[in-house]
Amino acid sequence: MTITGDMLIGASAVRGTSKIQQAINPATGEVLGPDFHGGGAAEAERACALAEAAFDIYRNTSPEARAALLESIASGIEALGDELIERAHAESALPVARLQGERGRTANQLRLFARVLRDGRWQAATLDPALPERTPPRPDLRLQKIAVGPVAVFGASNFPLAFSVAGGDTASALAAGCPVIVKAHSAHLGTSELVGRVIQNAVADAGLPEGVFSLLVGAGNEIGTALVAHPAIQAVGFTGSRAGGLALVQTANNRAQPIPVYAEMSSINPVFLLPAALQARGAGIARDLVDSLVMGVGQFCTNPGLVLAVDSPALDVFRQGAAAALTDKAAATMLTPGICRAYDNGVAQFGEIEGLLRIGSGQTATGPNQACPALFETSAERFLADHRMQAEVFGPASVLVVCRDLEEMLSVARHLEGQLTATVQADADDHALAASLLTVLERKAGRVLFNGYPTGVEVSFAMVHGGPFPATSDTRATSVGASAIERFLRPVCYQNLPAALLPPALQDGNPLGLWRLANGELARH
């Protein structure tokens, strides 16, 4: 498939007349062709008009039809073969094996939502039959969830496939019945076009209205702001920086009709080392934690950026082990020159904070845009007093916070901002403390994990990739896993609707064979 540098607006390839962008190979600095011709407000308007025109038709397609679309997209992405992997590798410097895994995850995610669609519980079909003899009589009431409207999606830099053009936001919005307009991330423009063309083709092959999908390109904020401000757009999915997410939230709040923004923003993913575990497994935890820290050059939303432990001889073992393990870690290429600069700045700023000491470093950079891993240490007292230490430094940097005692560790936990994840390393003797900590961490994070590392987000039914602000802008939502579809649905109640007009999910006799709540009881008949 040829990458042309055009935007995909409905069925058309559109050459923008705004600023030209180029893809860069961060490992070499080489410019990767072609030129990408960015658009502005006019192209956002055109995509939104098509999405609006497509919405009523698309949302009223059968769940089966949408499931087939998602499966067709999954197959189309797989059919791109090495071309996709090679382009993504060139644009991101992410290893080929990692990208192959991410491709599998992306396809699986699309297929998971096909399964969700066929299962049908997303419709929340609910029936309260009429009670004509009651005083006052109860009318016939039936509820289902329907799509909210066209959705704008802003992909992440760090997952060019799984959190990008055909990533979780797009998959869940398309499943819900929402047309999707993606703003391509400038870190992987060619990858975005390849995947975008797969979706464009799948929409056409399915005979769906062209406005079901568009892919926009644009430097700066103009096109994205125009997109979020457009009256047709009814929800926004975003994965990226706190500043970027908050800017979109602001734009959405300032609309005549405010809309929800599901922004997954920043998280430092604290890891608590409890005493018995630290005593028994300190050296092993140090090694595994450093592996988790540098995995993917630390470019995960769930990267462990904070480690907490009580001062003790066992902590000395951990500290030395971690510093030693880090020494062996090579500097590695980050996703973009800008991300690498931001990392270097973040590490430099940490270095200037009084009482925050660098206690470990990986190997120095040997090529462009390489990050050198860094481990810092501070006391709980200083951490509690200096909010700057809670800032996310995106990349392989982490801060060890040394607590005087367990009570101080709990104080630090209570002081933390909202997180995507919180991790506890605990052995059986730690369980009493772990229970107290769990009560705190449930309120701080969307996912609490024991005796593991936070990197690695399963795409399944029980996953929550979300959490209290500022981890996300909406603590009720997850951007990964089956529940992600709920972000793009709203409930509608139908009262005394004539049988001829009832939507299939709510018809007598349950023709779709759904799980439905009838008279407050769940049943499938």
Give me the active site residues, please.
264, 301
Nearer to a copy of itself, 354 or 521 (CB): 521
Residue ranges in 314-373 that form contacts with a copy of itself under rule CB under 8 A: none
Contact code string over 385-424 relative to a copy of itself, x by CB under 8 A = --------------------------------xx------
Stretch that binds a copy of itself, among 5-13, 25-33, 324-332, 454-462 (CB under 8 A): 454-462
* Alpha carbons 230 and 221: distance in angstroms, whole number: 14
Q: Is 515 an interacting residue with respect to a copy of itself (CB under 8 A)?
A: yes
Going by the DSSP 8-state scheme, the letter that residue 359 receives in this structure is E
Q: How far is the CB of 475 from a copy of itself (least distance, A)?
A: 5
Residue ranges in 189-208 that form contacts with a copy of itself under rule CB under 8 A: none
Q: How far is the CB of 437 from a copy of itself (least distance, A)?
A: 10
Q: Which two tokens stand for residue 378?
A: 């501070």
Q: Is 456 an interacting residue with respect to a copy of itself (CB under 8 A)?
A: yes
Q: How far is the CB of 205 from a copy of itself (least distance, A)?
A: 25
Which one among 96, 348, 385, 522 touches a copy of itself, defined by CB under 8 A? 522
Residue 145 is inside which H or E element, if any?
A: strand 141-147
Q: How far is the CB of 201 from a copy of itself (least distance, A)?
A: 28
Q: Is 243 an interacting residue with respect to a copy of itself (CB under 8 A)?
A: no
β-strand 261-264 against 235-239: which pairing, if any?
A: parallel
Q: Which two tokens stand for residue 229?
A: 């401000």
Q: Is 447 an interacting residue with respect to a copy of itself (CB under 8 A)?
A: yes
Torsion of CA 36, 41, 47, 52, to 10 degrees: 160
Stretch that binds a copy of itself, among 38-46, 185-193, 269-277, 459-467 (CB under 8 A): 459-467
Q: How far is the CB of 275 from a copy of itself (least distance, A)?
A: 16
Q: How far is the CB of 524 from a copy of itself (least distance, A)?
A: 9
Q: Is 508 an interacting residue with respect to a copy of itself (CB under 8 A)?
A: no
Going by the DSSP 8-state scheme, the letter that residue 264 receives in this structure is E
Stretch that binds a copy of itself, among 19-27, 72-80, 303-311, 450-458 (CB under 8 A): 450-458
Which one among 446, 485, 505, 510 touches a copy of itself, defined by CB under 8 A? 446
Q: Residues in contact with a copy of itself, total (CB under 8 A)? A: 78
Nearer to a copy of itself, 371 or 449 (CB): 449
Contact 264, 420 (CB under 8 A): yes
Nearest to 44 by CA among 184, 160, 186, 156: 184
Q: DSSP states of 394-427 as a string?
A: -SSEEEEEEESSHHHHHHHHHH---EEEEEEE--
Nearer to a copy of itself, 258 or 355 (CB): 258
Nearer to a copy of itself, 2 or 496 (CB): 496
Handedness of CA 411, 412, 415, 419 (dihedral sign): negative
Residue ranges in 422-441 that form contacts with a copy of itself under rule CB under 8 A: 426, 428, 431, 434-435, 438-439
Stretch that binds a copy of itself, among 81-89, 360-368, 369-377, 456-464 (CB under 8 A): 456-464
In terms of DSSP H, where are the helices of 120-167?
none
Q: How far is the CB of 429 from a copy of itself (least distance, A)?
A: 12
Q: DSSP states of 443-489 as a string?
A: HHEEEEEESS-S-----SSS-----STTSBS-TT--SSSGGGGGGGE
Contact 181, 150 (CB under 8 A): yes
Q: What are phi and psi of 332, to 5 degrees?
A: -145, 155
Stretch that binds a copy of itself, among 3-11, 191-199, 249-257, 335-343 (CB under 8 A): 249-257
Nearest to 524 by CA among 130, 66, 125: 125
Nearest to 120 by CA among 64, 69, 70: 64
Nearer to a copy of itself, 109 or 200 (CB): 109
Q: Is 258 an interacting residue with respect to a copy of itself (CB under 8 A)?
A: yes
State the Cα angle at 123 between 499 and 256, rounded to 5°. Answer: 100
Nearest to 307 by CA among 264, 332, 277: 277
What is the C-alpha end-to-end distance of the chain, expressed in Å? 47
Nearer to a copy of itself, 192 or 425 (CB): 425
Q: How far is the CB of 93 from a copy of itself (least distance, A)?
A: 22
CB-side exposure of 22: number of CA atoms within 13 Å?
11
Residue ranges in 131-190 that form contacts with a copy of itself under rule CB under 8 A: 136, 138-139, 141-143, 146, 148-149
Q: How far is the CB of 9 from a copy of itself (least distance, A)?
A: 23
Nearer to a copy of itself, 112 or 216 (CB): 112
Residue ranges in 462-491 that form contacts with a copy of itself under rule CB under 8 A: 462-464, 466, 468-470, 473-476, 478, 482-483, 486, 489-491
Q: How far is the CB of 102 from a copy of itself (least distance, A)?
A: 12
State the Cα angle at 308 between 307 and 313, rounded to 5°. Answer: 110
Which one among 15, 19, 115, 415 touches a copy of itself, defined by CB under 8 A? 115
Task: Write the CA distances from 188 to 140, 173, 216, 372, integer angstroms.
Answer: 52, 22, 13, 23
Residue ranges in 43-62 that form contacts with a copy of itself under rule CB under 8 A: 56, 60
Nearest to 348 by CA among 338, 358, 339: 358
Q: Is 107 an interacting residue with respect to a copy of itself (CB under 8 A)?
A: no
* 3-class SS of residue 278: helix
* Alpha carbons 123 and 381: distance in angstroms, whole number: 50
